[in-house]
Structure 1
Amino acid sequence: MASPRNMLLAALTKALVLSGLCVGYPSLLNGLHERLINARDIAPSYDYIVVGGGQSGLVIGSRLSEDTSSTVLVVEYGYLDNNPSVLEPSSAVQYPSGDLYNLTSIANQGVYAAAVVGGGSTINGMMFNRGAAEDYDNWEALNNPGWGWDGILPYFKKSTTFTPPDEAVAKDFNITWDIDAAWGTDGPIHASYPSFYWPGAKIQLQAFKDIGIPYLNEGAAGEGSGVYWNPDAMTADKRQRSYARTGYYDPATSRTNFNLLTGYRVNEVEFDSNLHATGVTLQVRGGANGEGVTTVKANKEIILCAGWLHTPQVLQRSGVGPKAILDAAQVPVLVDLPGVGANFQDHAVAQMSYQYTTDVNPNPRGVRTNQTFQQWSNEQWLDRKGPRSIGVGNTLACVGLPHVDPTGYQAIVAKIKAQTAEYLPEIYTDVTKKGWLAQRDILAKNFAGNKSGVIEIPFSGQGNAAMSLEKPLSRGSVTLQPGDKYAEPALDYHLLANPADVDIMVSVFKFARTWYAAQTELTPQEQSPGASVTTDEALAKAIQQGMGPSTAHGCCTAAMMPRDIGGVVASDLTVYGVTGLSVGDISMMPLIPATHTCSTVYALAEKAADLIKARHK
């Protein structure tokens, strides 16, 4: 059943659409037919073919087409979503089913994967934070020179235009920032803040301070464990979603060298006898096998941006992947690359629920129960202000393990260091196990300090808390279906397979209780899992029964690491064993950063575009 807040936001979105408030949405309503090509208009060849018109695909396609002497084709399975509601803050929690792939994992768990132009930036929660410097230094430590914090920070800046919060709001809620240290001022994606916050968020933030969690002046400047305010991917003037389509695609639609083809699936990458990528085969969406297939050639390079779910699938269908998986699907093996589809990571999430018996006013419940407050809220929104400018929220704690469990973290770290690869999926080979062992050593160092977080707790004045496991040790897989390589891939989250993940979450539940107990002004009473659930064993059972596998941050299935430890791409993002083919999306991450992944994807795609341009100069 939908939460009351979600029901409210759905009603507000519907009211907006029905009221006809479409002013300020010209990019969604005008000239769309002139911007797209159909199958009849596809040229025989392009200099660059970008597979996937999601978030990273639009960034890379737009940047490559800045060179008007180069032709660029972006192929996207989904379509443009022209509903004005996609730009509303309420869209941060309401995802149209038509913009998602319809599939489940092996454990019959729902999967959130975007099937729409703009990809995950179209249907995410709009929270626009970053990991700590250590999260990206971890990438570089896996033998990826240039991919540490210092190497990627310029691209975080390049992709953004930052606008500080309203002066009165900043003063009231003590919101701080440092534009020079962290932000750009003329990038395609806008980062800004709502005009209103629930006063309960101040109490919750102070409670984190009271239990010893540092307040971070600027959560996007690479600082470590702490609590901070973060902006949304939202324009400051109209408070509308800022995403890959409006930031990168719409401004580039007048370029005659830049084509977008929607409603088509890329079946395979084609290679010549020297294993050089020469083109792709395309099939119309919904077509039967062999129906509506065409081939387009690439003169310079093919860039896979089909996401964590489909980039490994396209590679595997093309004969690049684990030999055992390809043999089972009867795909001829061109390159035995065990890491394709392995190393799958996401931020799993558990819930705790409290009731505030002495809540402050106004509070989120007032939107549902207080007609006077509802009327005021609606009047404020006419000027794009007030509670309806809030998406998911803008305050969060990303906390290191020693801050979470000062007395028990060393035992957890020791257990992790002693592990071999016994908790990985059976399909992992000796090569991919080596990769996990290298990651284990890096993560163990992270867990022993407070330079980055292992848990994220967003909060916005409500009693419910979502606690996201930011550095999982469990690993999943994405593989072809043996009986039909064109079916959606077999997806296994392998949720909580590593017992250290459960140990960390048990410590997190105890930590969250300490945090709630510090919110004395609100008089919190625990509803779930319940105050009677006290032992480690009982908490572990509640976590295992209730934890969700995903916060739609899937990644790492075509990892940037050395080939001999399960890597799929080198530090220049070219695929091992072939030429003319690279990966430019979230699947190239070797380790998931402790953050919502949206802003990181913009940065890595911007860097990918520069790498591609440099090798074809």
Structure 2
Amino acid sequence: MARGRVAGAFAQLLALSSVCFAYADIVSELSAREISASEAKSSYDFIVVGGGQAGLVIANRLTEDPHKSVLLVEYGYISTDPAQEDPSSAKGLNNQLNATVYAAAVLGGGSTGMMLDRGAPDDYDNWEKLGNKGWGWSDLLPYFKKATHLVPPVPSIANEFNVTWDLSAYGPKNTPIELSFPTFMYPGTKNQYKGMIEAGVTPQKEGALHAYGLFWYPGALTAKEVKRSYAVSGYYRPISSRKNLHLLTGTRVNEILFSKSKRATGVTIQARGTPDGENVQVIKAHKEIVLTAGFLHTPHILQRSGVGPAALLRAANIPVVVDLPGVGHNLQDHAAGLPAFQFNTDVTPNPDSLTNNATFQAWADELWAANRTGPRSIGVGNVGAWIPLPVLTPEYKSIVSTIRSQDITEYLPSSYDRDLLAGHKKQRELIAASYTKTTSGAIELPFGGSPAFSLSLEHPLSRGTVMLDPTNKYAEPIVDYHSLSNPVDALVLAKSVQFGRKWMSTPAMRELSPTEVAPGAALQSDEELINAVRGGSIASTAHGCCTAALSPRNQGGVVSPDLLVYGVKGLSVGDVSTIPLITGAHTCATVYAIAEKAADLIKARH
């Protein structure tokens, strides 16, 4: 065994050295379009504010025309860590305060996540039902395909674990983002999959077309190299030779500038870390400014620029360009409960074997070093259940009735005005209707052989806010998730704990002898479980969205179906903040589709 470990270590060294040499070339490519502020031109055709996932997609597509110049401004920097591309790498929460709010300040942004699942068709059809023509499932499916392609799993894994997929859900091999499956899965996953069916969840062939029930989903990893496939590798690196693109990192966009006719004419920028107001630079945009600064900073920049709730702007002594109350409202995320079980007769190997079994760990390391296969090819898991409310609980009709009878003003932020209330009323009815269907998941429960799992609330009724600090508009914005402020959200999570117990008690799962650790089997009533959920849940799973929503203006919307900001000209938004209703999925795949569609809309205008 000692000899084998030495050989494995040597193989790892060789693999690491080759990775480092390859990554040196990658870093060179990434820096090819990077400029300093002093090198920036005085004007460009387009300015894209935010070099995250959406910004890189849009910059790629706009620079396909060599006659159009694009400046991409990013507050973060280019990551030069090789590990960047490897896998593995609240009010209603019992008054929890001062929690960390995550925003990806790095080139590529939130696309550095690896779980790339789409929402159910019902999710996107609800967007269209809010008054957003052209944003239903059939409209967005071509853009999902334009962004991604799938490499099927190796036959041995597909056969042993009954992995299913449908290549018609994806684009051709030359699309930017590659999806694949790992070359190893833990055997306990079979028990969990079978147990989920025994608990009443219907399996689906392909989650990219039918994202409800039980299904396998790929990860954003290349199949051959097992490297992260994300906006940098798929959209930015291939265009690093384009002369009509400039990248300015470590730079904050302070404000958008408007003419007297309220046309966006340019931006003021400042080097990150520079004292406010010092060395401010103005750069003009001839055609359009596109905001892609994410759920946190897209509304923040709009507010600093005089576009947002008038009362807030006046409190901060910011001249009001457009009174647009929806800016910074409608914040949604997937709050999650975190129950805990242990398996007393677990199958081996299992995920814990990587830390408590030296022989298994050595074997996994050797496989990874030799050909990047085995347990370390697993990213964030590849199977889970999106459980419809009628499957989750027999009391679903009572829950839907409660939703429809609520006074909508009682649980929303006090800053909601008439238009925002009207918009939420429509949202509430769509959520209630979806809660009666078996084609929409109310709770996400991913698994992968471990007794630990999360219960994510997929369609929350609670709404939060992102507002600038009136005492310092350049300080980070004030975020209030208002998680579980609507009691129905807490009740649905409590019901999901009961469903988790049902799953654990199925014949397939009893083979593993599960024992509940938290919240504890002694807690049985709805009231007890609701209290446990409020004290043991998290407000965010880093899926913040919806703060510059795509909706009619008289329903609290910020952008129209063409993604142009209401009340001004020459300014659009193309990122996660435009989502009107959060999807029952991680947001990454949806952002690719939004950004691809945004690029087409912008190009058609110019």
Q: What is the TM-score normalised by the length of structure 1?
A: 0.93
Q: Assess if the C-alpha contact under 8 Å between 2:390 and 2:438 holds in 1.
A: yes
Specify which of 238, 242, 254 is matched with residue 241 of structure 2. Answer: 254
Q: Distance in 1 between matches of 2:569 and 2:61?
A: 21
For 1:40-189, list aligned pairs within 5 A.
40-91=38-89, 107-122=97-112, 124=113, 126-189=114-177
The Cα shift of 1:469 comes to 0.4
Q: Assess if the C-alpha contact under 8 Å between 2:186 and 2:349 holds in 1.
A: yes
Q: Distance in 1 between matches of 2:252 and 2:48?
A: 12
Q: Which amino acid aligns with 2:481?
A: Y
Instruction: Report the equivalent of 1:575.
Output: 565
Q: Distance in 2 between matches of 1:276 and 1:16?
A: 56
SS at match of 1:186: coil
Q: Distance in 2 between matches of 1:600 and 1:33?
A: 28
Specify which of 251, 264, 276 is matched with residue 264 of structure 1. Answer: 251
Residue 526 of structure 2 is aligned to residue 536 of structure 1: yes
Q: Assess if the C-alpha contact under 8 Å between 2:257 and 2:264 holds in 1.
A: yes
Q: Deviating runs (4+, > 4 A) in structure 1?
A: 15-21
Kindly provide the CA deviation profile for residues 350-391 of structure 1, in whole angstroms up to 9, marking residues without a partner as x: 111111011111111211122111111111102100000011
Aligned length: 586
SS at match of 2:454: strand
Instruction: Report the equivalent of 2:499.
Output: 511
Q: Identify if the C-alpha distance between structure 1 residues 411 and 584 changes in structure 2 by more than 3 Å, giving closer, same or farther.
A: same
Specify which of 263, 282, 296 is matched with residue 276 of structure 1. Answer: 263
Instruction: Report the equivalent of 2:430.
Output: 442
Q: Assess if the C-alpha contact under 8 Å between 1:27 and 1:246 holds in 2.
A: no
SS at match of 2:386: strand
Q: Distance in 1 between matches of 2:449 and 2:308?
A: 47
The Cα shift of 1:537 comes to 1.1
For 1:594-613, list aligned pairs within 5 A.
594-613=584-603
Instruction: Report the equivalent of 1:102.
Output: none
Q: Distance in 2 between matches of 1:388 and 1:377?
A: 7
Q: Assess if the C-alpha contact under 8 Å between 2:266 and 2:283 holds in 1.
A: yes
Residue 467 of structure 2 is aligned to residue 482 of structure 1: no
Residue 241 of structure 2 is aligned to residue 241 of structure 1: no
Q: Which amino acid aligns with 2:122?
A: E
Q: Identify if the C-alpha distance between structure 1 residues 116 and 16 changes in structure 2 by more than 3 Å, giving closer, same or farther.
A: farther
Q: Identify if the C-alpha distance between structure 1 residues 269 and 409 changes in structure 2 by more than 3 Å, giving closer, same or farther.
A: same
Instruction: Report the equivalent of 1:587.
Output: 577
Q: Distance in 2 between matches of 1:136 and 1:150?
A: 9
Q: Distance in 1 between matches of 2:549 and 2:474?
A: 23
Q: Distance in 2 between matches of 1:463 and 1:437?
A: 39
For 1:547-562, list aligned pairs within 5 A.
547-562=537-552
Residue 353 of structure 2 is aligned to residue 366 of structure 1: yes
Instruction: Report the equivalent of 2:303.
Output: 316
The Cα shift of 1:55 comes to 0.3
Instruction: Report the equivalent of 1:425.
Output: 413
The Cα shift of 1:40 comes to 1.3
Q: Which amino acid aligns with 1:54?
A: G
Q: Distance in 1 between matches of 2:80 and 2:548?
A: 31
The Cα shift of 1:35 comes to 2.5
The Cα shift of 1:263 comes to 0.5
Q: Which runs of 5+ in 2 are unaligned?
A: 1-8, 90-94
CA RMSD of aligned residues (A): 1.6
Kindly provide the CA deviation profile for residues 111-140 of structure 1, in whole angstroms up to 9, marking residues without a partner as x: 111100000112x2x011111100100111
SS at match of 2:346: coil
SS at match of 2:252: strand
SS at match of 1:35: coil
Q: What is the TM-score normalised by the length of structure 2?
A: 0.95
Q: Distance in 1 between matches of 2:198 and 2:22?
A: 43
Q: Assess if the C-alpha contact under 8 Å between 1:17 and 1:85 holds in 2.
A: no
SS at match of 2:455: strand
Q: Identify if the C-alpha distance between structure 1 residues 113 and 450 changes in structure 2 by more than 3 Å, giving closer, same or farther.
A: same
Q: Distance in 2 between matches of 1:149 and 1:182?
A: 14
Q: Distance in 2 between matches of 1:439 and 1:449?
A: 16
Residue 384 of structure 2 is aligned to residue 386 of structure 1: no
SS at match of 2:314: helix
SS at match of 2:20: coil
Kindly provide the CA deviation profile for residues 512-557 of structure 1, in whole angstroms up to 9, marking residues without a partner as x: 1001111111010001111111111110111000110000000000
Kindly provide the CA deviation profile for residues 127-177 of structure 1, in whole angstroms up to 9, marking residues without a partner as x: 111111001001111111110000000000000121001111111110011
Residue 320 of structure 2 is aligned to residue 333 of structure 1: yes
The Cα shift of 1:420 comes to 2.4
Q: Which amino acid aligns with 2:574?
A: G
Q: Assess if the C-alpha contact under 8 Å between 2:116 and 2:218 holds in 1.
A: yes
Sequence identity percentage: 52
SS at match of 1:603: helix
The Cα shift of 1:17 comes to 12
Specify which of 206, 213, 216 is matched with residue 218 of structure 1. Answer: 206
Q: Assess if the C-alpha contact under 8 Å between 2:148 and 2:170 holds in 1.
A: no
Q: Distance in 2 between matches of 1:23 and 1:539?
A: 53
Instruction: Report the equivalent of 1:346.
Output: 333
The Cα shift of 1:26 comes to 4.8
The Cα shift of 1:491 comes to 0.4
SS at match of 2:338: strand
Q: Which runs of 5+ in 1 are unaligned?
A: 1-11, 92-104
SS at match of 2:232: helix
Q: Identify if the C-alpha distance between structure 1 residues 31 and 536 changes in structure 2 by more than 3 Å, giving closer, same or farther.
A: closer
Instruction: Report the equivalent of 2:37.
Output: 39
Q: Distance in 2 between matches of 1:50 and 1:33?
A: 18
Instruction: Report the equivalent of 1:466.
Output: 454
Q: Distance in 2 between matches of 1:489 and 1:43?
A: 30
Instruction: Report the equivalent of 1:413.
Output: 400
The Cα shift of 1:30 comes to 2.6
Q: Distance in 2 between matches of 1:464 and 1:18?
A: 32
